[in-house]
Amino acid sequence: MVNIKFIAEKAGVSLRTVLNVLNNRDTQFNEETKKKVLDIIEKYQYLPNRIATEYLIKKGHTRILYMVGNEDLLAHRDRKKGYLDTLKKYGIEINKDYLIYSDFKDLKLYEKLTVKFKSLEGFTAIFSYDDTVAANCVKAVKRVGKRIPEDISIIAVNNSNFLNWLEPALTTIEQPINEICIQRIDLLLALINNKDVVKKSVNQFF
**pLDDT higher for 203 or 144?**
144
**pLDDT higher for 172 or 36?**
36
CATH architecture of residue range(s) 4-46+176-205:
Orthogonal Bundle (1.10)
Q: Which CATH class is domain 49-173?
A: alpha beta
**pLDDT higher for 51 or 40?**
40
C-alpha angle 67/48/50, rounded to 5°?
60
* The pLDDT of residue 204 is above 50: no
Band of pLDDT at residue 31, cut at 50, 70 and 90: confident
Supply the pLDDT for residue 203.
Answer: 43
Q: What CA–CA distance (Å, rounded) separates 75 from 40?
A: 27
42-92 confidence digits (pLDDT tens): 787 666 667 778 889 988 999 999 999 888 876 788 788 889 988 998 999
132-185 confidence digits (pLDDT tens): 898 899 999 999 999 998 999 998 876 555 555 566 666 666 555 555 555 556
Q: What CA–CA distance (Å, rounded) separates 48 from 152?
A: 21
Band of pLDDT at residue 186, cut at 50, 70 and 90: low
Supply the pLDDT for residue 82.
Answer: 84
Measured over the CA atoms of residue 113, residue 116, residue 121 and residue 127, the dihedral's sign is: negative
99-116 confidence digits (pLDDT tens): 999 998 899 999 999 999
Cα atoms in the Cβ-side hemisphere of radius 13 Å centred on 158: 16
Tell me the domain boundaries of the chain: 4-46+176-205, 49-173
Edge to edge, what strands does the sheet with 171-173 contain?
99-101, 64-68, 125-128, 153-157, 171-173
Q: Are 4 and 19 in contact (CB under 8 A)?
A: yes
Supply the pLDDT for residue 101.
Answer: 94
Supply the pLDDT for residue 63.
Answer: 97
